[in-house]
A and B are shown apart, each in its own frame.
Chain A
Amino acid sequence: MKSFEYQAASSVGEAVVRLQQAKGTGVPMGGGTDLVGLMKNRVVNPELVVDLKVVDSLAYIRRQDGGFALGAATTVADVQFSAELGTDYPLLRKAASLVASQQIRNQGTVGGNLCQRPRCWYFRNTLTPCLRRDGTYCSAVLGENKYHAILGGAGCFIVHPSDLAPALIALDARAKITGPGGSRVVPMEEFFVLPREDLHHETILKTDEILEEVQIPAPMQGAKQVWLKHRIRQVWDFAILSVACQVQVRGTAVSDIRLVLGAVAPAPWRCHTAERLLRGSALTPENVDRAIAAELAKARPMTQNAYKIELAAELMRQALLG
Chain B
Amino acid sequence: MGEEVKDQGRRGFLTTAAATVGGVFALLGAAKLPAAAKTELPPLSEGVIYPDPALCVGCGACEVACGQVHAEHGLSGVPRIHILIKDGATVGISIADAKTTGTGGYVPSPCKQCPDPECFVVCPADALQIDGKGGARFIDESVCVACGKCEAACPYPVDGVQALTEEPMHTKRIFFDPKLNVYTKCDMCHWRAEGPACVGACPVNHNIKLGLLKSDHLCLDIKRADETTYKQIL
Contact = CB atoms under 8 A, between A and B. Distances in A.
B201 A300 contact: no
A181 B212 CA distance: 50
Interface string B38-79: 000000000000000000011111011101100000000000
Q: Is the interface of A mostly helix, strand, loop or mixed?
A: loop
A226 interface: no
Contacts of A217: none
Contacts of A299: 92
Contacts of B202: 137
Interface stretch (B17-25, B94-102, B126-134): B94-102
Interface in B91-141: 91-98, 101
A302 B212 CA distance: 18
B164 interface: yes
Given A141-B203, A142-B96, A300 B61 contact: no
A155 B67 CA distance: 11
B92 A297 contact: yes
B166 interface: yes
A22 interface: no
Interface in A195-231: 195-196, 198-199
Given A131-B65, A196-B64, A298 B164 contact: no
A138 B98 contact: no
A248 B204 CA distance: 47
B206 interface: yes
B164 to A, nearest CB: 5
B91 to A, nearest CB: 8
Contacts of A137: 61, 200-203, 205-206
Nearest to B94: A301
Contacts of B65: 131, 155, 199
A138 B94 contact: no
B8 interface: no
A271 interface: no
B189 to A, nearest CB: 13
B68 A141 contact: no
Q: Could you say which of B59, B63, B165 has the most chain A C-beta atoms within 10 Å of its C-beta?
A: B59
B145 interface: no
A306 interface: yes
A186 interface: no
A306 B92 CA distance: 11
Interface string B185-223: 000000000000000111111110000110000000000
Nearest to A306: B94
A183 interface: no
B64 A141 contact: no
Contact of B58 (A142, A199, A300): A300
A90 to B, nearest CB: 34
B212 A142 contact: yes
B95 A303 contact: yes
Size band of the interface chain A makes with B: 20 to 34
A45 B101 CA distance: 36
A306 B94 CA distance: 8
B206 A129 contact: yes
Given A141-B59, A142-B212, A155-B59, A302 B96 contact: yes
A302 B203 CA distance: 13
Contacts of A138: 59, 61, 201, 203
A139 B95 contact: no
A78 to B, nearest CB: 38
16 contacts: A131-B61, A131-B65, A136-B206, A141-B95, A142-B204, A153-B59, A154-B64, A155-B201, A156-B61, A199-B68, A297-B91, A298-B166, A302-B94, A303-B95, A303-B97, A303-B98
A141 B92 contact: no
B169 to A, nearest CB: 14
A294 to B, nearest CB: 12
B96 A139 contact: no
Interface in A145-168: 153-157
A138 B57 CA distance: 12
Q: Could you say which of B58, B95, B200, B204 has the most chain A C-beta atoms within 10 Å of its C-beta?
A: B95
Contacts of B164: 154, 196
B57 A141 contact: yes
Nearest to B65: A155
A137 B219 CA distance: 14
A195 B206 contact: no
Given A138-B59, A155-B61, A301-B95, 9 more contacts: A129-B206, A137-B206, A141-B59, A154-B164, A199-B64, A298-B91, A298-B166, A300-B93, A303-B98
Given A141-B57, A306-B94, A154 B63 contact: yes
